[in-house]
C-alpha cells in the first residue's frame, strides 16, 4: 500500500470547533491536537503515578467492534472506558450478523439504535474505520483501534506519552530508532507521523529493504534508513522494536527467525551502542529471541510494561476528548485536563 493512499483530511476527525470528533489516524492532526491528547492522558495519573477513576463518561456507552483479534488492545480500551464510568459492550463479531450475510452498514445502524456513543473499531482492512466514520450518526464517535496496514493512532499516542514521561526530554531533542518490519506495520507508520508532528528531527528506520513500504521516501528528510542495525541505533534516546508476525517469517520478504535475530535482534551488545539512558519499547506481543532478547525485554532500560499502563491513560484521553463537546457543556473536561 502506498504511504499516502489513506491520508485523512483533518476535517473528518475534527468538528467545527476544531475539537476531536473521531480518532482515525495521526495524519492531518496538528501538534496542538496531539499535545492535547498527551496532556489529557497525563491528567489521569495522580501524584503517585497511579491511574485515577472518574465519572466523565457516566451514562455513555462504548462499543468495542473488533473484526480482528487483539486481546491487549481491546482489554485496555475496556479498562479505559470503565475508568471513565462508561458502559462497555464487547461485540462478538465472529457470531454477529455480518457473518450471516448482513452488510456492515446495516449492522452499524442496528448498533447505533442501541444508543451507542462511541465505536472502537479494529479491522483487518485498511480504511475500515474511515468508512464507518463517514456513515455513522453525527453524535457517534469512531476510534480506530487498528486498520490493516494503515494506522494504529492510539498505539502511536501511548508510545509518545511513554517517550515523554520516560525520557523527560522535548521531542525536538531526541533520536528515535524504529526497528523491524516497517512494510507491514501500522504502528511504525503511525509512530513516524506522530514523531514528525511533535517535532522530532532524528527518526531512524532500521530494516532490510525487503521490509520497507512503497513510497518510503515520502516520510521526508527527517526519517533516515539504516540497513545495518549497529549504525541505526548508535547514540539513540529511544529504540522501538516491532513485532515480526509469525505468518510472515517464512515469506520471501524475510529470512529465518534465527537469521533475522542475527541481523536485527536487540541484544545487550547492540543496546550498549545507544545512549546510556536509552529506553526500549515494543508494541507487543513480543517474539523473544526474534526481535528482542529476553535480557533486554526484562531489563532496566525496558519500559514495555509502562507502555501498557500509558495505553490505558491515552485511551481514556481519546474517549473523553471524542465526547468533548458534551463534556464541556457540563464543565467536566476542563476540570480534568486543565
Ligand-binding annotation for 282, yes or no, is no
How far apart (Å, rounded) are the C-alpha atoms in residues 24 and 12? 9
Instruction: Return all residues near 139 (Cβ < 8 A) that are at least 6 apart.
Output: 117
Residue ranges of the alpha helices (H) in the chain? 10-13, 31-42, 71-83, 104-112, 128-135, 153-167, 186-197, 229-233, 246-249, 257-264, 268-271, 294-297, 304-322, 324-329, 333-337
How far apart (Å, rounded) are the C-alpha atoms in residues 137 and 152? 23
Ligand-binding annotation for 248, yes or no, is no
Ligand-binding annotation for 197, yes or no, is no
- Helices then strands, counting H and E runs in the chain, come out as 15, 9
Ligand-binding annotation for 72, yes or no, is yes
How far apart (Å, rounded) are the C-alpha atoms in residues 34 and 48? 24
Ligand-binding annotation for 328, yes or no, is no
Report the b/e string of 146-164 with b at 16+ CB within 10 A: bbbbbbbbbbbbbbbbbbb
Ligand-binding annotation for 252, yes or no, is no
Ligand-binding annotation for 215, yes or no, is no
Q: Which residues are annotated as a binding site for L-aspartate?
A: 100, 186, 243
Annotated binding site: 72-73, 100, 122, 152, 155, 186, 243, 284-285
Which residues belong to the annotated binding site for carbamoyl phosphate? 72-73, 122, 152, 155, 284-285
Amino acid at each position: 500500500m502506498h504511504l499516502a493512499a489513506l491520508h485523512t483530511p483533518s476535517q473528518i476527525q475534527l468538528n467545527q470547533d476544531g475539537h476531536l470528533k473521531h480518532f482515525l489516524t495521526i495524519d492531518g492532526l496538528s501538534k496542538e491536537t496531539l499535545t492535547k491528547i498527551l496532556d489529557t492522558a497525563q491528567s489521569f495519573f495522580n501524584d503517585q503515578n497511579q491511574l485515577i477513576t472518574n465519572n466523565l463518561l457516566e451514562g455513555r456507552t462504548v462499543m468495542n467492534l473488533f473484526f480482528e483479534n487483539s486481546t491487549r488492545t481491546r482489554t485496555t480500551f475496556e479498562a479505559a472506558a470503565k475508568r471513565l464510568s462508561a458502559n462497555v459492550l464487547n461485540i462478538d463479531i465472529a457470531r454477529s450478523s455480518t457473518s450471516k450475510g448482513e452488510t456492515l452498514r446495516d449492522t452499524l445502524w442496528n448498533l447505533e439504535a442501541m444508543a451507542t456513543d462511541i465505536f472502537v473499531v479494529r479491522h483487518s482492512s485498511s480504511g475500515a474505520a474511515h468508512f464507518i466514520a463517514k456513515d455513522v450518526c453525527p453524535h457517534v464517535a469512531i476510534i480506530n483501534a487498528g486498520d490493516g496496514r494503515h494506522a494504529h493512532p492510539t498505539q502511536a499516542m501511548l508510545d509518545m506519552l511513554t517517550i515523554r514521561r520516560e525520557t523527560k526530554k522535548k521531542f525536538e531533542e531526541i533520536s528515535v530508532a524504529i526497528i523491524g518490519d516497517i512494510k507491514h506495520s501500522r504502528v511504525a507508520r503511525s509512530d513516524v507521523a506522530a514523531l514528525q508532528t511533535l517535532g522530532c528531527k532524528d527518526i531512524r528506520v532500521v530494516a532490510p529493504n525487503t521490509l520497507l513500504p512503497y513510497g518510503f521516501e515520502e516520510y521526508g528528510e527527517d526519517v533516515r534508513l539504516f540497513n545495518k542495525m549497529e549504525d541505526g541505533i548508535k547514540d539513540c534516546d529511544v529504540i522501538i522494536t516491532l513485532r515480526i508476525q509469525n505468518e510472515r517469517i517464512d515469506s520471501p520478504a524475510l529470512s529465518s527467525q534465527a537469521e533475522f535475530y542475527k541481523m536485527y535482534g536487540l541484544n545487550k551488545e547492540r543496546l550498549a551502542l545507544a545512549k546510556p539512558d536509552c529506553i526500549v519499547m515494543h508494541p507487543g506481543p513480543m517474539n523473544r529471541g526474534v526481535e528482542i532478547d529476553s535480557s533486554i525485554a526484562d531489563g532496566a532500560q525496558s519500559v514495555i510494561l509502562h507502555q501498557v499502563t500509558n495505553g490505558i491513560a491515552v485511551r481514556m484521553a481519546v474517549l473523553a476528548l471524542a465526547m468533548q463537546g458534551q463534556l464541556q457543556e457540563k464543565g467536566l473536561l476542563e476540570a480534568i485536563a486543565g
